[in-house]
Structure 1
């Protein structure tokens, strides 16, 4: 049997300009939130270990850098 491919449009056509404004605002909000989450992921990924090292260096008693990085 051959499978049949149907092409259907996603979304409703025929709405007024208000629908288009709402859709663009929602689309901009989605794009902004996606961009923000991607940047936050990169910052968290590359900033977590240096943050832990800085916090460890400023604690009492003051350890040496190799003591912070050693697994024991």
Structure 2
């Protein structure tokens, strides 16, 4: 859910996280805080907007744990 369709002077839009409702700034044109998250996640789907920093970190951590679990399982099957 986008709070405002306008952008501030920095090109940032205010939006609410679809998971927890936290209002935060999003700047897809560059310089956004989400660029600092080192995970490679798919773009939002099902009309879901950008996630807030806390929810995005939680999704990234869960994806990392899943990848680690798959790697461990693959290593065990090679033994």
TM-score (norm 1): 0.43
Give the structure with higher Rg (CA): 1
TM-score (norm 2): 0.40
Which structure carries more relative contact order (alpha carbon 8 Å, separation 6+)? 2
Higher helix share: 1
